[in-house]
Amino acid sequence: MARRYYYPGDEAGVLERVRNRVFRKPVPDFPKTIVIETQFGCNASCVFCQYSQLRDKLPKGRMSVALFEKIAGECAGRPVERFILCLDNEPLLDTTLAEKYALLRQHCPLAVRNLTTNASLLTAANVDELIGAGLVNELFLSVNGASREVYEKLMGLPYDKVMGNLEYLCTWLRQHPDVRRTLRVRVNAVRTRLVEPELPAMARRWEAEGFEMHVIGMDSRGNQLDMKNLPGERMKPNATCRRLFHTMVLTWEGHAVLCCVDYRRAVKLGNVQEQTVYEIWNGSWATLLRKEYLAKDFSHLPICATCKIN
Query: With a threshold of 0.85, does the pTM exceed it?
Result: yes
Those residues with Cβ within 8 angstroms of residue 258's Cβ, 6 or more apart along the chain or in another chain: 244, 249, 266, 267, 268, 269, 289, 301, 303, 304
Low-confidence ranges of the chain (pLDDT < 50): 1-2
Closest CA to 139 of 178, 191, 86: 86
Those residues with Cβ within 8 angstroms of residue 274's Cβ, 6 or more apart along the chain or in another chain: 254
Distance (Å, whole) CA 19 – CA 16 = 5
Instruction: Give the model confidence (pLDDT) of 108-157 as tens digits.
Output: 999 999 999 999 999 999 999 999 999 999 999 999 999 999 999 999 99
Please, are residues 38 and 91 in contact by the beta-carbon 8 Å criterion?
Answer: yes
Residue 229 confidence (pLDDT)? 65
Sign of the alpha-carbon dihedral angle for 233, 239, 240, 243: positive
Residue 197 confidence (pLDDT)? 96
Instruction: Tell me which long-range contacts 97-100 makes (C-beta under 8 A, separation of at least 24).
Output: 97/38, 97/130, 98/129, 98/130, 98/133, 98/135, 99/65, 100/38, 100/63, 100/65, 100/68
Residue 53 confidence (pLDDT)? 80
Q: What are phi and psi of 118, to 5 degrees?
A: -85, 0
CB atoms within 10 A of CB 191: 17
Residue 2 confidence (pLDDT)? 45
Please, are residues 195 and 147 in contact by the beta-carbon 8 Å criterion?
Answer: no
Those residues with Cβ within 8 angstroms of residue 81's Cβ, 6 or more apart along the chain or in another chain: 32, 33, 111, 112
